[in-house]
Each structure stands twice: as structure tokens, then as C-alpha cells.
Structure 1
Amino acid sequence: MPFYSSLLALCCLLWACTFGNAAATQKRAVPPGFVTTNGRSFELDGKPFAFVGANAYWLPLLTTERDVDFTMQQIQGAGVKVVRIWAFNAINATELPTALETDLTYYQASMMLDAETYTHLRTQVWNSSEWTVNDGPQGLQRLDYVVSSAEKHDLKVILTFGNNWAAYGGIELYINWIYGAENATHDIFFTDPAIIASYQRYIKTIVERYQDSSTVFAWELVNEARCTGDILSAGPNCVPGSNTLKTWYQQQSDFVRGLDANHMITAGGEGQFFWAHPEEYWFDGSLVSDYNFNGQAGEDFDGDLQLPNLDFAVYHLYPQSWYPELDFPGSNFSVEDWGLGWITAAKANKPVVIEEFGLSGLQNKTDIYPSWVQHALDTGHAIMPWQFGVLGLTEDGGNRLIQYTDQIFRGVRCNFCNTIYPNQTQVWDIFTKAAKIQDERSG
């Protein structure tokens, strides 16, 4: 039996044995307009809240209010209810001149400034572990407008505090500027007291800014935490069974709950497991232990969700990039079947969101998304594809290089081709139809 088929069968068995008779989590009272949980479901003002959402992390990078509102209109028109947005963006000193020249949105600048420049920029300045925040018109005021536009269009937002990866100022900047990258490992971020204190100061800034807003669906601790990153590798203290990430999740979720009793909190992880008998597969004549199931990533999807202040589960799904050695023409690896098994495995006594998923190639999307989306609907998951695409942006004449590979080209906002656009009718309809189903399930 191919490993993806055995995965599906094993996941079903584990679900039945592990969660079938367990008690669901209890509902927490919140003010009107705030989404909360009730067992394995979301709830808004006493009624079920099922949804199709969208990833649009780049919304605060738009420089015109017109384009923000225009994007929100398209998102709302698709039936989307929740939008996931980065509430972080940090730059290095060498990036500052370009950021000012191109009007790049940024909230943190990894540098030391003289007093005159600091006063002018009102930016987040690193001086050992000390900094101030950019709440000016090129900083958090843009995030303010995104949140206000979401409210105007009856949308909720997930605000993510940081990034495991380097893009837009990932967590390794904290390592570089507080701990020092020399001889450091990526997981120092999750254990070093000075780094944790600095990160919590930034979290506090965001939470206190929006804690009274019912537009905020949830706080997300970090995007895709792993023991390793883009640059630094994992150390000996972040290994299967070390609970390094779980300890950090508990610490940060408890910290956020201490600041805000009403909004939900989620980890933001990819959903990797730490199974006693992880999946294996054959590659190049050898039996390989599967990274997504052996705990090597640092996560323990089942164990982490026992934390009381993680209100719901999220996971991501990218088998093409996770298994490039298996996904080739003529192999017996099925991207579709593997995804179905991953969705089946993601079960909890809390609500579950397939928070990111993507496929390259329009035909792959057309062929595979229907079964993934239907399986997610059948198993009660909220659905958030990566990522929402928009047509008709006008800033800078519809052409603008933002940062990294991000750009607006001929009015189109794109990122590494997993994007879904309204003019891709067959794919777009998969999600608009799912949105209608979720809306019918809601109050």
C-alpha cells in the first residue's frame, strides 16, 4: 500500500481512538461581536460561525486607501469572512533608504539612529533589546486602516505577530540584534529570556492597539514556527520530544491571555506531528522517516493543542514543496491523496482551520482543490487558501515593486503563483461555492 494511503487509514484510526470520546472545550463568554469557540465550532453572538477565509498578508503593504478598500470589496464579494494579515514588518539598516524611497510599510527597523533621525522617522529602533515602535503614517497607521476597512466590509482579521522565515523581518532578526547570530541556532528565539521579553513587548504593542476591536478574529503567535529557519539551523535543545515549541506556545499564549481576555489565540503552526510511530517512505533505496510526523520540525500538533489558551487549531498544506523528491511524473505519489490524509489527521477537540494551502499550476488547482475543499467541509474545517489575488490595483499606475518577490504588475498583486484570481473562474468558483455552504451553516 502506498504510504499516502496508509497515512489516510492510520489517521482515521487515530482520530477515532484519540478524540472520538473526549470532551470538547468549553465556551468562553465574550462581548458582542467577538468570535469565540463552542466545542469544536466557532461562534459569533451565540450563533455558529463557519467560514471560508483568505490569506492577504500584503494588505498593509498597499500605500493607498483606495486599493485597500477595493481589495476588501473583492474579498467580501467572494463570500470570504476572515482575512489573515501580517501584523509585523521589520527592515535592516541597509534597507531603510529604499524603504523611504519606495514608501514601504514597516513597523520595525533593525538599526541604531541618532536622535534627530529617530525623532523624524518615529520608527522602531533597536539598541540592544530596546526599541520604540513606528506608529506613523508609514507604519502602524497603515495597519490601522486595514483593520478599519475590514470592519467597514464586515470582515474579521487574524493578526500574526511574527514570522519563522526571513521575509518581512522574521524572528532571526531578534537573534541577530539581541543575542547575536554567531554560533547561534534558530531555536534560541524560543528560549532566550531577552529575546522572549523583546518579542512580548512587540506583542503587547499590537494587542493593546486592537484589543477592543471585534474586527480582530484572533491573535496568531507566529507564522510556521519550526526548530530551524531560512538561515540558522536547529540546535540540540530543539529536537523531537524536547517540547521547545510547546513551552514557548504556552508562555506566549498565557502572556497574550493576560493582556486580553476576549480575543481567541492560535499558534500559527504548519501542523506537524510527533507520533510514536511516524510515517516512513521509500526514497532512493532507503526508508525515510517523515519530517511531518517524526517531531523533527519541533511541533506536536496533538500535544500543543492541549494548552488551555490556544483556542483553535491551524495547519498548512503544501505537499508539492514538502515532497519534491516524491512528486515527479511517473511516481506513485499522489498530491491529492496525501492532502486528504493530512486533512483527516488534523483533528482536535477545538475548532480546526486549514489556514494555508496551495498548489502550483492552474490544472492542479482545478483538479485537486475540489476534493480537498470538500473533505475539509465534510470534516468541519474552516478553509483559508493561500492566497487571495486581486485585479485592478491602481497605486503607482498599477506597477510597483514592493519587497522581495512581491510586486504589483499591471494592477495585479501576486506571490509565487499559488494565488487565486477572480478571472480563473473554475478555481474561483470552488471557493465561492464553499463560502456559500459555510454561510448556510452559520447563524
Structure 2
Amino acid sequence: MTHSIDRRAFLAGSAVLAGCTAAGPHPATGGHRPAAFIRRDGMRLMAGTEPYRFVGANVWYAAWLGADAPYGDRARLRRELDTLRAMGVTNLRIMASGEEGPLRNSIKPGFRDAGEDYNAALLGGLDFALAEMAARGMRAVLALTNFWEWSGGMMTYLTYVNGGRYIDMNDPAHPWPAFANMNAQFYASEAAQALYRDWIRTIVTRTNGVTGMRYADDPTIMSWQLANEPRPAGDMAHADLPQFTGWVEGTARFIKSLDPNHLVSTGSEGLKGSLEQPDIALAAHRPDAIDYLTVHIWPNNWGWVDQRDLPGTYDGGQAQVADYIARHEALARQLGKPMVIEEFGYPRDGGSNDPAAPTTYKDRFYRQIHAATLRSMDESGPIVGTNFWAWNGEARAAHADYRFRDGDRQYMGDPPHEPQGWYGIFTGDSTIRLIADHAAAIGRVPA
């Protein structure tokens, strides 16, 4: 099949950007398949002889949309990619895993269950998504499991090997940090690790059914990621730090043994995912098989702001965001590695989930992230890119309560356990203009 971009679809995506600054030097036209693997060079990422800097998005559901199945929508996936590429977004962080099991709020279908009969339609959806991204010159970060429940993740792996025992996240009978502490058993379970490594081997050595290219040979993939937001435990009392950091290094080396061409990253939140301990964050990112530091920033989730009173709490949160970025830049310099702010999210005004609600404070937050990123790039600092959370695009909540229900097909960046519209960016949002202008600004940073 051809990988050129449909002109009508591209023009429709470009219409979203009417009045925006041109989004960088690489227009979203066909024929821009990535030619060089991304590699680490000190605190830089490189594509061939050029520094690789990027504006990215989180689109966890790309494989689901790409599936040739009743739950897929390949036409929508193409439209969303066209829109993102027209914005200057060139990097997508997506789920390359999903474990089916008993957890409430986990997405179904998944890529796998306890057996080896993996979901061929979802694997084909991932193939299709990567092929369409390649046609647009986009790169992928592929997450190989999840600490959290919304895609099954580590807790579901444990159910496969422990007789079906589990804790649901936010179960009143098992309040925080019970879920995270039980998850830590994943790192010690040889049986769970064997299943996890079987999945890694399947994906990393897979041949794309659309392009005929081995994943390990495809420069469209920027990085394999151990998990979405792995934590050593929920509290220090349950954290076996040598075990956790051994899991990080051992898994990263295993991936590199299968595929020496691609970067490997942790998917960590940074200090928040390291029990607020700099030594843990450093230990998790120090192994040579881990190529860059990942950072996530969630002011509302972490209590730095209150979505019900953004006018009264924004400034205090802004100061904490600035400090969090600065602390991680210092860690990245200590490691001598690049840094990616690969998740950052903020609510709409009043905490609304309605796409019609303004994004006054969200836009201010994005401007802060963008300014810090550009400053680091201008000063040859460690920040090389960002992935905002997340792209909702043309999707709209199917229900008046903004809750995802089994069988819903309006996939968006807000995962199924969260209100649909809470953090994601919709077509029509003013935030799109900020992203496009930021992409253009990055394109002007000297090499």
C-alpha cells in the first residue's frame, strides 16, 4: 500500500491551524520517512549529524484506532496524525501493550492475556499506526507495560501468576498506597517477569505487517520504554530499591540485546516516581542502557493547584513547576544525559471536562513548559523535547457524565479511568496555536 498522505485529509488537518505560525521547517507532506535512528550524544539526541529536538504528544490509543476491527477507525487515525503533523508535532508516545484481566477501568480489548495467543488485530493496529507515522516523518516512543491499571499493567501480570489476586486502584477497602505497594511484587516475581519478557521479545522482534520492516530496524521508533510511570512502590517501607533498579537495568539490557539500534527509556515521572528521593531517580537513570531522563509534571494531581480555584492557586503551582523542572535539569546534568518532559497536563478552567470550556490557565501552564524547554535548548541544556498529555482531537465524550464505559469507541488521551476531557486537547482548543508556535520556535534553535 502507499504511504503518501491524502491531500484532502492534510488540508482538513491544516485548517485547524488557521492563523498559526508555520510549524517548523518540515511540512506534513509525504515522502519524509525517518532515515536515521535517534542516538544519544552526551546531553543531546541526534538524528544523523543533526540534533533531534521535538514537540510531541501522548496518543496512547493509536494501536486501537489503527486496528482493522470493529473498535478501530483508521480514517480517524489518519486525520488525527495529519492534524498533529500540521501542528509541528513529530513525536508520539503510545502504548505498545495492554494486559487483559479483572481490573476495573482497564481498557478492553488488550494486546494479551495470560496466554500466548496475542491479539492479532491490535498488533496489526500498531503496525498500521507506525506505518502512517513513518509516512509523516514522525517518531514513536513505545511503552511496554504500565504501572497503572488503565491498560492492565503490572497488577494484571501479577494476577496471571498469583492465582488471580489483585487490588483495584482507588478501592476504598484498600486505600493508597496499597495498590502501588502490591504492584512492587511485579519486580520480584520471576513468573511475571518471564511473561513480560515474552511480550517484549514479541514486540521488539516483530516484523511490521504493513511495511515489511522489522521493528528493530525501523527508525520510526525513537525509544522503547520499560513502562508507563514505573515506581519502586507506594512508600519506602515497601520499596526494595536494589530490586527495582536491578529490574530497570536488567530489562533495558534485555531490550538492547534484542535491538541495539534504538534508545531505551524508563517512562518514570522523575522524582515523583522515585518516592521524592533524588538518589532513586539517579539510580534508575544511571545505567548505560537507559538513554535519557524522563519527567512528568501533574500540578493538579499532585496538589500544587486546585482545579476548582485556578485563579487563586495557579501562581503557587507555577513556582513548584519551575522548581521541579530545575531540579530535573540538575539531575540530567549530573547524569550527563538528555531529558524529555514526556507528560504534562493541566485542567480546563473550573476543572470542566467540556470542550467548550476555556483553557486560560492550561495555556499559561503550557507557555511555562514551552519557555523552560526553549531556554534549555538555547543554552545547550539537557531538555530535548516534550510530549503533552494528551491528544483528544476530534473525539468527544459519549456520555453526559464524561465517563468511559466498556464498548465506547471515542478513544481520547484521557484514559478510561479518568473523566473524558479532563486533560486532553481537543480540536478547536486555543492550546493548539501555542503548540504550533512552539514547534516553529524549536525549528529556529541553532544546531
353, 361, 364: which is aligned to 2:361? 364
Residue number in structure 2 paired with 1:418: 423
Does the alignment pair 1:188 with 2:185? yes
Determine if contact 1:82/1:155 at 8 Å carries over to the other structure.
Answer: yes
How far residue 293 of structure 1 moved from its aligned partner, in angstroms, is: 2.2
Deviations 1:369-396 (A, max 9, x none): 2122101221232111101231279xx9
Q: Which amino acid aligns with 1:310?
A: I
Does the alignment pair 1:351 with 2:358? no
SS of 2:199's partner is helix
How far residue 64 of structure 1 moved from its aligned partner, in angstroms, is: 2.2
Deviations 1:304-333 (A, max 9, x none): 221110011111000211126988755697
Residue number in structure 1 paired with 2:393: 390
Residue number in structure 1 paired with 2:417: none
428, 438, 443: which is aligned to 1:439? 443
How far residue 132 of structure 1 moved from its aligned partner, in angstroms, is: 1.2
37, 56, 59: which is aligned to 1:56? 59
Residue number in structure 2 paired with 1:134: 118
Written as runs of structure 1 = structure 2, the 5 A alignment for 1:291-440 is 293-294=276-277, 300-323=280-303, 329=309, 334-347=316-329, 348=332, 349-361=336-348, 362-380=359-377, 381=383, 382-391=385-394, 408=410, 415-425=420-430, 427-440=431-444
Cα 1:392/1:245, change in 2 over 3 Å: closer
- How many Å separate the matches in 2 of 1:213 and 1:356? 24
TM-score (norm 2): 0.71
Q: Which amino acid aligns with 2:56?
A: G
Residue number in structure 1 paired with 2:211: none
Q: Which amino acid aligns with 1:421?
A: F
Determine if contact 2:156/2:166 at 8 Å carries over to the other structure.
Answer: no
Written as runs of structure 1 = structure 2, the 5 A alignment for 1:75-154 is 75-92=84-101, 105-109=109-113, 126=114, 131-137=115-121, 139-154=122-137
Determine if contact 2:147/2:183 at 8 Å carries over to the other structure.
Answer: no
Q: Which amino acid aligns with 1:81?
A: T
Cα 1:371/1:333, change in 2 over 3 Å: closer
Determine if contact 2:158/2:166 at 8 Å carries over to the other structure.
Answer: no
Q: Which amino acid aligns with 1:179?
A: N
83, 97, 110: which is aligned to 1:74? 83
Larger radius of gyration: 1
Q: Which stretch of the first structure deviates more once superposed, 71-80 or 415-424?
A: 415-424
| Aligned Cα root-mean-square deviation (Å) | 3.2
- How many Å separate the matches in 1 of 2:236 and 2:324? 28
Q: Which amino acid aligns with 2:193?
A: I
Unmatched segments (≥5 aa) in structure 2: 1-33, 66-71, 168-180, 207-214, 349-358, 378-382, 415-419
How far residue 413 of structure 1 moved from its aligned partner, in angstroms, is: 7.0
197, 200, 212: which is aligned to 1:200? 197
Determine if contact 2:59/2:413 at 8 Å carries over to the other structure.
Answer: no
Cα 1:133/1:438, change in 2 over 3 Å: farther
Deviations 1:4-40 (A, max 9, x none): xxxxxxxxxxxxxxxxxxxxxxxxxxx9521111111
Deviations 1:219-238 (A, max 9, x none): 0000001234xxxx668551
Q: Which amino acid aligns with 1:301?
A: A
Cα 1:218/1:428, change in 2 over 3 Å: same
SS of 2:217's partner is coil
How far residue 153 of structure 1 moved from its aligned partner, in angstroms, is: 1.2
SS of 2:425's partner is coil
Identity %: 21
